Every structure is written in C-alpha cells, then in structure tokens.
C-alpha cells in the first residue's frame, strides 16, 4: 500500500475520506491541522500564537509545521495518509526529499467546484474532539447537534466561518494549488472528482490505490 498525500482546498473532503480509509484499509492518518489544534488546546504561548494565525486562515510557518509532523509519524512501521501537509511547494519538496525520501507515495488531488465550496465549509460541523466530520446539508448527524459515533456535541470550527473560509480559499489558490505542477512533473499526481458523494469519492480513491 502506497502512502497517500491528499491535496485539495478546505472542505473538499480530505478529512472525511481519511477517516474512511483508516477504518477500511488500516492507514495511519496524520493531519497537520489536527496537530496544530491540539497544540492550541494546550494553551501554551506557542499555542496562542498558532491560534491567531489559524483563526485568520493564514499558514503557520513551514519550520514549525514540519517539526510537528516529523515528531508524529513513524514511517518504518506504518502507511500514512498525509492530510493538510504539504500546503505549499516548499513543504512538498521537504516531504518528497527529506520525509518520504525513497518511500512510495501518490498525491491525490481532490478536485472540487470552488463556487460551491464556501457553502460546503460553512455547513461543516465536527465533534468537539475534532475526530468526526459532518455536513448539515450533505451528511447530517442522526440527532441534531450530536455526533453519531461519540454523542459529543458538534461544533463549528472558528476558521469555518465565512470570512475566514474566503481567505483560506485564497491562500489555497496562491500557495497550495501550485504544488499540482510539482507532483505532475514527478508523475505522482492522481485526481478524484470530489464533488461526488462520499461513497463515490471513496471508490475513486480505492481504484487508485488497488
Ligand atoms: P486544516 O485542518 O487542514 O484545514 O488546517 C487548519 C489550519 O491549520 C490552516 O488554515 C492553517 O492555518 C494551519 N495549517 C494546517 N496545516 C498546515 C501546513 N501544512 N502548513 C501551514 N499551516 C497549516
């Protein structure tokens, strides 16, 4: 099984698909957004600084996020899904030549209609531990406001509010999208139509990795 590097704008379904692949295929999932949110939750000085960057929808420094990532993976024993890293060409280079040096992987681009994306993200809710993801329109919980799996309250991430989402999409267009050429040139780029249903996107990914 190859390692997977998921690329796509906020709300394109990377987290949802990661959760399914972890369950179905035994991948380990590493999300730099989740790692940063747990750093923020610790309330340290560093956490406070990270929070203000995240709440504005900007990117945290490459050094910090790369360190955090390296501390939280063990490539010798697991196959990973990288979700939210890399976020720019520099991070893509570091992942390719330092972190995944010589390790097989494929980059999967979640292609979505950007016009419908804002609506997708502002309707996103997550369990208060951040682990389960819902959408009020396309994937609602069975009981309003509560996570089906854990019963925890569903919350809206601060950075899923409309103004911040607009900025995150701009950051994506400017910083993250140029990585597609990087992976295309290496012959490592695959693409899924992420406007389709959760099940269909999952089938598309399974076809790529089988
Ligand atoms: P996510 O959960 O992937 O949507 O990430 C939420 C926020 O965390 C982003 O808007 C950034 O502020 C920050 N973040 C996550 N991953 C990275 C990364 N690889 N580089 C820089 N900032 C990141």
CA distance 83 to 205: 14
By alpha-carbon position, which residue is closest to atom 15 of ligand 1?
Answer: 33
- What CA–CA distance (Å, rounded) separates 35 from 30? 8
* 26: region left, alpha or beta (phi > 0 left; psi from -120 to 50 alpha): left
158-200: pLDDT as tens digits: 999 999 999 999 999 999 999 999 999 999 999 999 999 999 9
Distance CA 186, CA 43 (A): 40
Choosing from 36, 67, 83, 164 the residue with most ligand 1 atoms within 8 A of its CB, the one to mutate for a pocket test is 36
Active site residues: 14, 87, 124, 157, 168
11: left (phi over 0), alpha (psi -120 to 50) or beta: left
Mean pLDDT of the chain: 96
In Å, how far are 29, 87, 162 from 169, measured between CA atoms?
23, 12, 11
What does the pLDDT look like over 113-142, one tens digit per residue?
A: 988 899 999 999 999 999 999 999 999 999
Cis amide leading into 86 (omega within 30): yes
Pocket test for ligand 1, best of 33, 110, 126, 164 (most atoms within 8 A of CB): 33
- The reported pLDDT for the residue numbered 189 is 98
Model confidence band, residue 1 (pLDDT cutoffs 50, 70, 90): confident
Model's pTM, two decimal places?
Answer: 0.94
Taking only the tens place, the pLDDT of each residue in 37-71 is: 999 999 999 999 999 999 999 999 999 999 999 99
Whether the CB-CB separation of 160 and 54 falls below 8 Å is answered with no
């Amino acid at each position: 099984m190859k390692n997977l590097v998921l690329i796509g704008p906020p709300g394109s379904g990377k987290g949802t698909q990661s959760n399914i692949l972890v369950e179905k295929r035994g991948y380990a999932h590493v999300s730099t957004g989740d790692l940063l949110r747990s750093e923020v939750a610790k309330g340290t000085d560093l956490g406070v600084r990270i929070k203000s960057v995240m709440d504005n929808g900007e990117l945290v420094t490459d050094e910090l996020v790369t360190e955090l990532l390296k501390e939280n993976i063990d490539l010798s024993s697991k196959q990973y899904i990288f979700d939210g890293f890399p976020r720019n060409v520099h991070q893509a280079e570091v992942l390719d030549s330092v972190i995944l040096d010589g390790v097989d992987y494929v980059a999967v681009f979640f292609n979505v209609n950007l016009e419908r994306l804002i609506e997708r993200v502002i309707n996103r809710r997550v369990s208060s531990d951040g682990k389960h993801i819902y959408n009020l329109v396309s994937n609602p919980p069975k009981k309003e406001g509560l996570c089906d799996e854990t019963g925890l309250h569903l919350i809206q991430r601060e950075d899923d509010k409309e103004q911040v989402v607009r900025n995150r999409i701009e950051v994506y267009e400017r910083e993250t999208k140029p990585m597609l050429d990087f992976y295309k040139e290496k012959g490592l780029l695959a693409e899924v139509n992420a406007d389709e249903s959760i099940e269909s996107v999952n089938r598309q990914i399974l076809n790529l990795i089988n």
